[in-house]
Amino acid sequence: MTTTAPARTTGPLRPLELLGADTLLDADERDIAATVRRFVETRLAPEVGNWFESATLPKELAKEFGALGVLGMHLDGYGCAGTNAVSYGLACLELEAGDSGFRSFVSVQGSLSMFSIHRYGSDEQKEHWLPRLASGDAIGCFGLTEPDFGSNPGGMRTRARRDGSDWILTGTKMWITNGNLADVATVWAQTDEGVRGFVVPTDTPGFTANPIHRKLSLRASVTSELVLDNVRLPASAELPLARGLGAPLSCLNEARFGIVFGALGAARNSLETALDYAASREVFDRPLASYQLTQEKLADMTLELGKGFLLALHLGRLKDESGVTPEQISLGKLNNVREALAIARECRTILGASGITLEYSPLRHANNLESVLTYEGTSEMHLLSIGRALTGHAAFR
């Protein structure tokens, strides 16, 4: 057997170039990734430090995301692009390379708010809301998590009771992305017939969104508490096809898939930032990048980033071809968020004291990823989901 030595390179490679990642994508997928990357680099990256520091996300970005075509891009009809799952994942990767807040906005809009209406809504609900949400003319949020019920949403206390032909909703939802920006909320509640979903315009009397302040993470993102105080809704507000807890959980699986790719964007940007800094920073009259300990860090992080990308791409191909299971999504989210957080932290060490400023991205990414590690399924819950698949025993019950 003969072997061929790897071709020598003429200059430094970027992390995913070393993997040859682009060769695994088709032309449309590469074009979509490149388009979103340009938007992030030219429109979002110059401002993200200011938005993170001031804890704001301009509402007008919704229409810009709509014009870019990323809102509900993996859905069909109603002004949605109808792309494959891999293209949606790559868009999430590029958005999160800018900031987790950008990917969170797009993910909540498309994979939670829009997906819940697209999958479980009536024709009237779809025709009224989906084109506006796809264009960014309206903003959506998703009310499932409660103050005492995150990992156990089946215990939710929010109730919906019938009053003639109407529904009356009472309860509180917590940690709701886009809550104070939203024009419509998909709200999940207990009823006498089990868990049901409702499409709630946020100007309905009794509906209040309260912003959550003093966050140390996801600062370039709006996070809210939703209060429903005897919110009266017509029967037409109920999602007619949503029956039981499986409906909101299926929406979460859509959003988690975006995270599998998205977290890699934060990791890639952190690693590229560290590479650029190490190449220009001189220590003892030599570039920091020339030291063995620095190269060990860079090589290990590139390896984990590459493995995470291959895992995400594999899950994306499965989703497009035969479908992906919740346990497989758990594998992807658990690994990729955990490794992305480790990469962001390690990159900060290469930057030294400079790494604690907003001039550089790794610590901002690390702070954001602390939230991503927890939301839409904590690492512990994903471990137990995988454990249940392997053993047949539900350890969290």
Active-site residues, by number, are 376
Of 382, 389, 147, the closest CA to residue 259 belongs to 382
- Assigned token pair, 255: 């959003």
- Assigned token pair, 38: 């340009």
What is the spatial distance between Cα 219 and Cα 239, in angstroms, rounded to a whole number?
A: 32
Residue with tokens 């999160």: 96
Q: What share of the chain is helix, strand, coil (3-state, %, to 5)?
A: 55, 15, 30
What is the spatial distance between Cα 36 and Cα 389, in angstroms, rounded to a whole number?
A: 36
For β-strands 184-191 and 140-143, DSSP reports them as parallel
What is the spatial distance between Cα 176 and Cα 223, in angstroms, rounded to a whole number?
A: 5
Number of residues that this document lists for the chain = 397
Residue with tokens 């989210």: 333
The interaxial angle of helices 292-321 and 246-280, nearest 10 deg, is 150
**In a 3-state reduction of DSSP, which class is residue 304?**
helix
What is the spatial distance between Cα 278 and Cα 245, in angstroms, rounded to a whole number?
A: 49
